[in-house]
């Protein structure tokens, strides 16, 4: 069916109180793990790549692989740029055929964040591609982006103003989640999330959802999160499986023997997350 944009699917998720996972992929093996499991679960899925991954794998290769999976499995697959850092990176991904863009201007002062996002929204919307932005800062390390401390939480009134001024399609909120693994127990600000949901209507995105308790993710979805980003847990499952092969057979030199168990380990995580966010069996319920 070719790649799709995320708009219709995130709105359906918002209206029906479930979420769609956005899984960070890096190469053919991780892309196959995510898309084959989404197919088996009959779930729409968002594949996402950070600028680091775009530089590593190539925007054109990523789109070609994602398209192949979409045609093969006939489920809605979105190719999304995660934490797009500047206009040129967005342009490169749009040219290659990405169907969803995140521009992250959250490290800039508010008015600058607005003008960066607005420019990307104008460009992307001209091509029919939706845009995610971030307000507040989500702590931790993602790709080359490192935020010290706990970050700054998203203010609901400012979120409303930001969406009005930028025309963005979805918003990543900072409510106490963190990229990577949690060093201390996360304190999620559910009241803040509920207030944001009350004030704004566009789909809300939870970053840093790896390593959160299942009940925390579920509560966030109940309170209005429609897209849940998963990166770190996938990487851990994949690399731990590769390490196990090396540990058991130090002389192993066949990539297929290394990566097949890694794909299987990642598939198990993907399946769990799809069940957790409630997107399984949603493909046939949305008219294409
Ligand atoms: Zn993120």
Q: Which of 164, 93, 159 is nearest to 123 (CA)?
A: 93
Task: Tell me the angle at which helices 214-222 and 190-199 cross, rounded to the nearest 10 degrees.
Answer: 30
Q: How far is the CA of 105 from the centre of ligand 1 (A)?
A: 12
DSSP per residue, 223-284: TTEEEEEE-HHHHHHHHHHHHHHHHH-TT---HHHHHHHHHHHHHHHHHHHHHHHT-TT-TT
Res 150 pLDDT > 50? no
**Which pLDDT does position 141 carry in this prediction?**
56
Question: Using one digit for the tens of pLDDT, what is the confidence trace for 73-102?
Answer: 999 999 999 999 999 999 999 999 999 999
- In this predicted structure, the answer to whether residue 182 has a pLDDT above a threshold of 90 is no
* Continuous segment of H or E residues that includes residue 285: none
Average pLDDT over residues 93-115: 95
The predicted pLDDT at position 149 comes to 45
Q: How far is the CA of 230 from the centre of ligand 1 (A)?
A: 9
Which residues have their alpha-adjacent CB atom under 5 A from ion ligand 1?
Answer: 142, 207
Report how far ligand 1's centroid is from the alpha carbon of 150 (Å): 14
Q: From the CA of 51, how far away is ligand 1's center (Å)? A: 12
Contact present, 265 and 241 (Cβ < 8 Å): yes
- The CATH number of 7-277, from 3.40.50.150, 3.20.20.70, 1.10.260.40, 3.40.50.300, is 3.20.20.70
Q: How confident is the model at residue 221 (pLDDT cuts 50, 70, 90)?
A: very high
How many angstroms does the Cα of residue 257 sit away from the middle of ligand 1?
A: 31
What pLDDT score does 146 carry? 46
Return d(Cα 162, Cα 178) in angstroms, integer.
22
CA of 260 to the centre of ligand 1 (A): 27
Chain centroid to CA 157: how far? 24
Higher pLDDT, residue 251 or 186: 251
Do 105 and 133 contact (CB within 8 A), yes or no? yes
Task: Map out the domains of the chain as residue ranges.
Answer: 7-277
Rg (CA), the chain: 18
| Mean pLDDT over the full length of the chain | 93
Pick the more confident residue, 191 or 182.
191
- 82 included as an active-site residue: yes
CA of 21 to the centre of ligand 1 (A): 13
Given a cut of 90, is residue 103 above it in pLDDT? yes
Distance 195 CA to ligand 1 centre (A): 21
Q: In the prediction, which pLDDT does 140 show?
A: 64
Query: What pLDDT shows up at residue 166?
Result: 97
Over residues 258-273, the pLDDT tens digits come to 999 999 999 999 999 9
pLDDT in tens, 15-61: 999 999 999 999 999 999 999 999 999 999 999 999 999 999 999 99
Q: Which of 82, 104, 143, 169 is labelled catalytic?
A: 82
Query: pLDDT for 152-174, tens place per residue?
Result: 899 999 999 999 999 999 999 99
Closest C-alpha to 63, from 52, 51, 47: 47
Indicate if the pLDDT at residue 151 is higher than 60.
Answer: no
Report the share of the chain in percent with pLDDT over 90.
85
CA–CA gap between residue 225 and residue 132 (Å, rounded): 13
Q: What is the pLDDT of residue 148?
A: 43
Q: Give kind and range of the element (H or E) at residue 144.
A: none
| Non-local CB neighbours of 39 within 8 Å, separated by 6+ positions | 73, 75
Mean pLDDT of 278-288: 83
């Amino acid at each position: 069916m070719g790649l799709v944009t995320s708009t219709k699917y995130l709105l359906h998720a918002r209206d029906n109180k479930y979420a769609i996972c956005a899984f960070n992929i890096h190469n053919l093996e991780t892309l196959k793990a995510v898309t084959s499991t989404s197919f088996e679960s009959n779930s729409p899925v968002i594949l996402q790549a950070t600028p680091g991954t775009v530089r590593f794998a190539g925007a054109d290769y990523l789109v070609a692989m994602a398209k192949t999976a979409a045609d093969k499995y006939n489920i809605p697959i979105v190719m999304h740029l995660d934490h797009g850092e500047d206009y040129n990176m967005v342009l490169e991904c749009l040219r290659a055929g990405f169907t969803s863009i995140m521009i992250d201007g959250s490290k800039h002062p508010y008015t600058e964040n607005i003008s960066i996002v607005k420019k990307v929204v104008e460009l992307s919307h001209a091509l029919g591609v939706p845009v995610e932005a971030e307000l507040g800062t989500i702590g931790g390390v993602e790709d080359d982006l490192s935020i010290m401390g706990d970050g700054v939480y998203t203010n609901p009134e400012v979120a409303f103003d930001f969406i009005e001024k930028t025309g963005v399609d979805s918003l990543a909120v900072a409510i106490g989640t963190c990229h990577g693994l949690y060093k201390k127990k996360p304190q999620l600000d559910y009241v803040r999330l509920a207030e944001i949901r009350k004030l704004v209507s566009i789909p809300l995105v939870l970053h840093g959802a790896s390593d959160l308790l299942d009940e925390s993710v579920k509560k966030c979805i109940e309170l209005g999160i429609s897209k849940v980003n998963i990166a770190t847990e996938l990487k851990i499952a994949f690399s731990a499986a590769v390490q196990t092969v090396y540990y058991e057979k130090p002389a192993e030199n066949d990539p297929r023997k290394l990566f097949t168990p890694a794909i299987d380990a990642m598939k198990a995580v993907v399946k769990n997350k799809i069940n957790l966010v409630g997107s399984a069996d949603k493909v046939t319920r949305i008219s294409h």
